[in-house]
Amino acid sequence: MEIESCGGVCELSEDCIANVLSLTSPKDTCRLSTVSSVFRSASQSDTVWDRFLPSDYREIISSAVGEPDSLLGQFHSKKDLFLYLCDHPILIDDGRKSFSLEKSSGKKCHMLAARELSIVWGDTPEYWQWIHLPESRFSEVAELIDVCWLEISGKINTHMLSSRANYAAYLVFTWNTETYRYGFRSHPANGSVSIGGHESQKCSFYLVSEEEQREMYQITERQQQDNGEQRQQQDNAERGIQYPKLRDDRWMEVELGECFVRGGQDGDLGASLTMLTGNWKSGIIIQGIEIRPKECK
């Protein structure tokens, strides 16, 4: 419900209110647009949404795959462009990365395609193959054929990210449902995130769902009572090891770690996954590593 009698604030000019709104956030601006009709009108101003767009958005869009000039020209307002970049990641850097914005804050989000990652033995056909999946935003994804040593890493320069923001990295993946997958239920994987080579955080997680892992526990318990390996798996679960989550785009993701990106910081943000123990593994399909803002704990 609008509050037309909001004191002297509503007596300010629309341009003045727009300047005030531009100092907040996209989320707060949308909330404040319900205060009154003058706030609603000011909240649509290009003055507001130009502040919410990254200062280098034109340069970023100019590196988009396809026709970047037409992308800039098809929107009637900066707000429309902002919302489009939130909901429609664009491919940049020859299709090896994608760029989007976080809707609530306007901070930059990137996904590194599998081709942009370092995958141990990734170019060895006996171990990995590169395929096309129509549901992927990238032209190629990496499908694991058979490895014992699983190691994946990627990096992005911090200048491509928003400053003074907490970022987390996520492995984005799915499974080949037409073949038998194996090797992922017995041991957790490890993830890490660093800036400039200085490790910020490590974490452990399973790549299979919690339900599938619990099912494995039950089978193992029936087959191997008091087995030391099974006991270790239970201890891992009690320590709060993560499990993957289903994304809105129907891919799975698991967090590799997080770190804070400071203003003016130089260097690369690196993210990695390692799974160096256990049996041979097969069946996982890697779309990439997504790096996006995350609220501080």
User: Which tokens go with 9?
Assistant: 């604030």
Distance CA 142, CA 6 (A): 57
40 within 8 A of 34, measured Cβ to Cβ? yes
H runs (alpha helix) in the chain: 14-21, 26-32, 37-42, 46-52, 57-62, 68-73, 78-87, 210-223, 228-238
Q: What is the pTM of this model?
A: 0.88
Q: Which residue has the tokens 């800036």?
A: 195
Distance CA 75, CA 111 (A): 24
Distance CA 132, CA 95 (A): 14
| Strand segments (E) across the chain | 90-92, 97-101, 108-113, 118-119, 128-131, 141-144, 150-157, 165-175, 189-195, 198-205, 245-246, 252-261, 268-275, 284-293
Distance CA 104, CA 123 (A): 39
The per-residue pLDDT string of the chain (297 residues; one tens digit each, 9 = 90 and over) reads 444 455 566 678 889 999 999 999 999 999 999 888 889 999 999 999 999 999 999 999 988 988 777 788 888 899 999 999 999 999 999 999 999 999 999 999 999 999 999 999 999 999 999 999 999 999 999 999 999 999 999 999 999 999 999 999 999 999 998 888 899 987 899 999 999 877 677 899 999 988 887 766 554 444 455 455 555 555 555 466 899 999 999 999 999 999 999 877 678 999 999 998 778 999 999 999 999 999 876
